[in-house]
Amino acid sequence: MQYVDMSSDEFLAELEKTKKFTEKVCKQFGWVYNPNEEVNEGVTMGLARNKMLYGKRWCPCFMVIEDENGNHKSADDRLCPCKPAIEKEIPEEGKCHCGIFCTPEYAATHDH
């Protein structure tokens, strides 16, 4: 398993880029962040870690695997924002599987 120093300048810079990325996703789709800040922080850190390790923001809730050609992908092909979240999870459940992105209605009725 690869290690990322989460206190390194490199990680902290990627974390800031990932926060900007998730803000852009919220704006693009009309979503909001989960009212639980711990969920948002954990998922954002996982996305930043995956970006550093694999070059893409794979959802941290799904295992990233290496194919026979040495390319990486998540076990369920969950590149953030993932297709299941956009097409099914958020419209039907109000939030994505990992919980960072929600509808405003979901966020208003679910607090910490």
Domain boundaries, the chain: 31-109
CB 33 within 8 A of CB 102: yes
Gyration radius (Cα) of the chain, Å: 14
pTM: 0.89
pLDDT digits (tens, 9 = 90+) for 10-56: 999 999 999 999 999 999 999 999 999 999 999 999 999 999 998 99
Q: How many residues does the chain have?
A: 112
The predicted structure's pLDDT at residue 6: 86
- The three-state secondary structure class of 97 is coil
The predicted structure's pLDDT at residue 16: 98
pLDDT digits (tens, 9 = 90+) for 43-100: 999 999 999 998 999 889 888 877 777 777 776 778 899 999 999 999 999 999 999 9
* DSSP label at residue 82: P
Q: Give CA torsion, residues 13, 49, 19, 55, to 10 deg.
A: 80
Looking at 3.40.190.10, 3.90.460.10, 3.40.50.10600, 3.40.1360.10, the CATH number of the domain 31-109 comes to 3.90.460.10
Residue 28: which of 106, 90, 73 has the closest Cα? 90
